[in-house]
Amino acid sequence: MSTQSTPGYNGLAYASSDGGSTYPKLLELTDVTLSVDTDELDGRSHDSAGAYDPVAGSQKWTADATVLSVDADAGQAALIAAVTGKSTLKFHFDPAGTSSGKPRRAGDGIITSWQEAQPNTALRTTKIKIAGKGALVFSTQ
């Protein structure tokens, strides 16, 4: 069986400045590592003869990503504002490009970690960690 391998996710982050009516693009993300984890609940009972019987519990998603920007780029200032303002952002992760009919993962999240590479020249690489708020939705663009 042939498969298509995708080397990594590209993503977009959107932020609303009007309370949620519109969401203009805030950041372009590269080298995204997306993780979904499900807690295991112990569902053992008499029916399982006391043997461990895992049941799916709460689920959370996280992402690690790189943001590439230029100091003069408005995206860098918007990223700092999102981090310091503890803003909830909307994220789209498109593992196979942005063409219609391709897979998409989407959800709301906050930036929980921000790392800037030194030295700070005109081109800046920033690594961020994202914690999802609510479900990560798997869909088609």
Separation between Cα atoms, residue 106 and residue 93, nearest integer Å: 6
Residue pLDDT, tens place only, 8-33: 556 778 776 666 677 777 777 878 88
Residue pLDDT, tens place only, 78-110: 778 888 888 888 888 877 666 778 888 889 999
Q: How many C-beta neighbours within 10 Å does residue 99 have?
A: 8
9-38+58-140 placed in CATH 4.10.410.40: yes
Q: Could you state, in order of their start, the residue ranges of all structural domains in the chain?
A: 9-38+58-140
* Buried/exposed code over 16-31 (b: 16+ C-beta within 10 A; e: otherwise): eeeeeeeeeebbebeb
